[in-house]
Amino acid sequence: MEVHPNSFRYSLWPLFFFHLQRSPFPPPNYVHWTETPSSHLFAADLPGLRKEEIIVEVEDSKYMVIRTELCDTCAGTEEDASERMRRRSFNRKFRLPVRVDMDGITARYEDGVLTVTVPRLFRRPHIDCSSLDQALKSLAPAA
C-alpha cells in the first residue's frame, strides 16, 4: 500500500481564493436580522444619510426592500457649466416570514442606524425551563 501526502495541503486554493474565505468584518451593505418572540428586527448602518433619503417598502406582501438614493450635486469647473452628479446607493431585499403584520411595520432612523420592526401575527410562548423539570418528574412515575 502506497501512502500519498495530503494533496489539499499543497494546493493553490488558499493563494488564489483567499478572498472567498469568511471575513471577520461584515460587508458594507450588511443588515443584521434578529428575531424576538413578538417581532423580527432588521438593523442597517447607514451613516451620513438623511431620513428623507431612506426608502423602506413592501413588495407583493412577500418582500421588504430597504433602499437609498443619495444624489449630491457638485459644482463643475468654470469651463464646464454642467453639474456633475455623484451617486451612492444601498439596496437590500428580504423575503418576509409568512405570519407577519404588514400594517404594523415600523422604521426608526437615529444616529446613522436604521431599525425596521416587523411584528409577528402571533406571539411565541416563552417556556420556563425550571417548571419543565417539575413536569417531567411528575410524568416519569406515570410511565
pLDDT at 48: 81
Domain that holds residue 122: 22-142
**Is residue 67 in a domain?**
yes
Mean pLDDT, the chain, integer: 73
Residue 37 C-alpha cell reads as 418572540
**Is residue 6 in a domain?**
no
CA 100 to CA 122: how far, in whole Å?
A: 8
Q: Give pLDDT tens digits for 87-103.
A: 467 788 989 888 899 89
pLDDT at 29: 67
Percent of the chain with pLDDT over 90: 22
**Is residue 38 in a domain?**
yes
- Smallest CA-to-CA distance from 67 within 55, 57, 58, 59 is with 55
| Residue 83: partners with Cβ closer than 8 Å, 6 or more residues away | 73, 74, 75, 76
Pick the most confident of 67-81, 85-99, 115-129: 115-129
- Give the number of domains in the chain: 1
Name the E strands within 83-134: 84-95, 106-110, 113-119
CA 121 to CA 42: how far, in whole Å?
A: 17
**Is residue 15 in a domain?**
no
Q: Which residue has the higher pLDDT, 50 or 78?
A: 50
Residue 51 · residue 125 · CB < 8 Å? no
* pLDDT classification of 24: cutoffs 50, 70, 90: low
Mean pLDDT of 70-93: 55
pLDDT at 79: 46
Mean pLDDT of 2-10: 53
CA 78 to CA 75: how far, in whole Å?
A: 9
CATH assignment of the domain containing 105: 2.60.40.790
**Is residue 9 in a domain?**
no
**Is residue 135 in a domain?**
yes
pLDDT at 76: 45
